[in-house]
Structure 1
Amino acid sequence: MLAKKSHKAEIGAYSKIFFQLGLLLSLVVIYIAIEWRTFDRTVSELSATNIQEEEIMDIPITERILEVKPPPPPPPAPEVIEIVADEKEIEETILESTETDESEYVEVIEMDLIEEVVEEEQVEQDIPFAIIEDPPVFPGCKGTKEQKKKCLQEKITQHVSKNYNTGLSQDLGLTPGKKKVYVVFKIDKTGNISEARARGPHARLEKEALRVVNMLPKLTPGKQRGIPVSVSYTLPITLQVQI
């Protein structure tokens, strides 16, 4: 039986395609060969490297010394316990009762008979005029506490200016200039002037200042916490001595 040739087995139909592929592959190889670049490499001499030898240190082995603590002291010896024989009698302490007997008389104090004693608050006797709560009141002064205090100062100044003998300073032969006489006195609990003292350049000026201060009228006493107290007051009197 004769073998039949297949039309699909013809090689001539694909020869052109294989030729073109071979030609294309050749062109690619040639292109790569043309574009391939080579470089000359030069190896420089190796420089001598400075290799330092590692220093090997011998570290001595240290020994840890443990502190030896002394042994704890022995416990104290036990106390000697006295053994009491059964025949020995032990005295017992008898506790007396603190309860009262109904037959005993107990005095009862009635509350109505106890008098309540109110202690008076102690207030400092002499209060400076600058810190007094309720200042003394000069006759005719009215208003608030500050107004009464200012009015008192003005009235005392007017009284001294009116009654002090200013010509006395000219007759004593004092050097020209301003001279001051300081007077310290108290306005006691009743409102009267007491314990007046003066200090100045001449005894006669001091005496005249005391005379004028003692002429002040009776004032309404000052109060501290609502209690009448004695108030200390300092009065400077300035005199002008002329040639």
Structure 2
Amino acid sequence: MQVKKNPKFDLNRNSGLYFVIGLTIVLFLTWRALEYKTYPEDFETLNMTMAVDDLKEDVPITESIKTPPPPPPPSAPEVIEVVEDSEEIEETIIESTEISQETVIEEVIAVDDVEVGEEDEEITVPFAIIENVPIFPGCESATNNEERKLCFQKMIQEHINKEFTYPPSALELGIQGRVFVQFLIDSKGNIGGIRMRGPDRTLEKEAERIVATLPRMTPGKQRGRAVSVPYSIPINFMIQ
């Protein structure tokens, strides 16, 4: 038996069209939902100032004080009496203490009575050309000037290696370099006049401390007279 249907009532006939229409409507609604924007409402605030016409201010009541006028000045006497000076006043004469060319000096000082003091002048001779270099303690056995120079330089280097301490602050910061130190061995063998030049103040202070601990030496001599001798040496600060 064949089933008969009216083609006008076939629901599957336009299903593709309905699907496209529904999809279009959904896409349109989705697009509008994404494009929808809201804006905050602007509120205008009106500041109103009220002016008051009548301003009443309480003024304190003050009382005026009446002072009496000053008394009139005394009137001059009608008759003026003249009094004669009866006492004599002695005048004091002030003598001048200035000395002129006509003043004669009675006390004469003899030339033999004047003592003339001689002031020793500090002479400085460079280390390279001095006749007798300063003697470092322990170099007394050197026979000539060249041996004293070599012993002096050796003992200076040993003293620096013994007293050398790397500053902790410079070590933490990685500061290193060479410090040039110049000092003076005076005519009495003392160390003084220390001057430094280096890359950092911390290294310069350490170099100054090392040189300041040098022992007292036998002063250098030039023509048999004790003189001051400057000496320069570099101190290297290297981080290994």
TM-score, normalising length: structure 1: 0.46
Question: How high is the TM-score relative to the length of structure 2?
Answer: 0.47
Instruction: Tell me which structure has the larger Cα radius of gyration.
Output: 1
